[in-house]
Amino acid sequence: MLFNSAEFAIFLPIVLLVFFGLPHRFRWQWLLFSSCVFYMAYIPWFILVIGTTIVIDYFAGIFIAGQHGKMRKYGLTISLIANIGILFFFKYFNFFYDNLVPLLSSGGIHISKPNWNILLPIGLSFHTFQAMSYTIEVYRGHQAAERHFGIYALYVLFFPQMVAGPIERPQNMLHQFHEEKFFSETKLVIGLRLILWGLFKKLVIADRAAIVSDEVFAHPDQYGSIGIFWASVMFAFRIYGDFSGYTDIARGAARMLGFELMLNFRRPYLSASVTEFWRRWHISLSTWFKDYVYIPLGGNRALVSKVVFNLLITFIISGLWHGADWKFVVWGGLNGAYIAAEYLWTKLNLPPMSSRAGINSNRIKTFLLICFSWIFFAAPNMQLAIQAISQLGDISHRTTDISDVLLAKDSLMASVFIFFLLFCEILIEKERLSAWFFSQARWFRWMSYATVCWIILLFGQFGERQFIYFVF
């Protein structure tokens, strides 16, 4: 069930009405049932995969909490192997087989591929990381093992964030499912506002920008440097509008029910460095890799060469998490190289790259670097990504680039609303917009909401295009 579908527009009010109509002791059951219905609307049997890991991690958490010494580590190891094993089978089996078998064949070892049609369960990567954070935090002593099986299952399956995050830590979410929630008009309005803004980003910006970027990156040989560059800009805002829009809707739906999900995006394209960008982009994933991969590797408390290695490895793994394809590995490695270069820059005591004097130019440089890396993300495969990059050197002024890309209706319309989005985010960054907006009369605020609704209805793309991160 998509957030931008008619089904969800019916589903959410029903969930809300029944939730607040039930006594507190029955509400977790209703939310768990609703979350199962929400998830099974995609492919019903996928829930069996999720259910298997829920059972394993639930008992693993209790086992870890009740043991001492090496036994705790054994429990954690079993949990991690189970989660990573399931993720590997569904997401990476074909990738590793297709790359490993040729190497083995060259050494005289021949392996025949099983005739399996492996489908990737929706949101498995997100679910796996959230489940792993639970057993890790129990092992570290930062979270008590959840004894209520239904509550733990709800922590994993909670429908607003289950499919595409944010990837919540147990310390933030588990206690919220035990607390009684009361209907709040304020939370309802805040939730509706977040959903409205999320739909604007998704339908008006992301899905319209996708028309341009999808066409160009599917046929990069037909475009020159102008077309490829503009398509990468369109994709940058397509993925931002899509994913941050999803997060806004998820946070809004949760807020209406009385739950608080973590902030997952903080105006990333206003960043003055790539390091800052990754502190603002997909915050729940960035902090997950920092806490569970980068710091255990040694973090920045090591020799300079080891820190660079830690950064590269962390981002390469992050790239592989995004998809079983070499293009994602390159994308992750490229971003790791950016951050490693910025780290080395500071170690050499060179002038700060994000100094006040050049903060605007640094924002532009950062945005261009990120746009370049997005090419590997946007292209359907590695071959087309390389082809698109090669076309960046084609400086011929093709009329197709100008007329079909820059001046295309969808490109112009997306650009207008992208500028509006950036204008709003700049004011929010300077803490001016919120204070001004909420100081206005109530009729003005509601008229603003109505205007956004009108813009969505008039300029939105209503083809129920899937959220881009649903494939991960």
Q: What mean pLDDT value characterizes the chain? A: 87
Average pLDDT estimate for 162-176: 90
Query: Smallest Cα–Cα separation from 123: which of 160, 150, 149?
Result: 160
68 catalytic, yes or no? Answer: no
In this prediction, residue 357 has a pLDDT band, given cuts at 50, 70 and 90, of very low
On the question of pLDDT at 355 being above 60, the answer is no
For residue 221, what are the CA distances in angstroms to 393, 394, 402?
Answer: 12, 10, 15
CA angle 287, 292, 297 (to 5 degrees): 115
Annotated catalytic residue, options 24, 110, 127, 322: 322
State whether residue 315 is helix, strand or coil.
helix
pLDDT value for 318 = 94
Residue identified by tokens 């059972």 is 55
For residue 98, what are the CA distances in angstroms to 103, 104, 117, 324, 326?
Answer: 10, 11, 14, 11, 12
The pTM of the whole model exceeds 0.75: yes
pLDDT value for 17 = 95
On the question of pLDDT at 316 being above 90, the answer is yes
List the single range of 41-55, 299-313, 390-404 with lowest mean pLDDT. 390-404
The full DSSP string for 194-256 is HHHHHHIIIIIIIHHHHHHHHHHHHSGGG--HHHHHHHHHHHHHHHHHHHHHHHHHHHHHHHH
Is 307:300 a contact under the CB 8 Å cutoff? yes
Residue identified by tokens 């209805």 is 457
List the single range of 49-63, 308-322, 392-406 with lowest mean pLDDT. 392-406
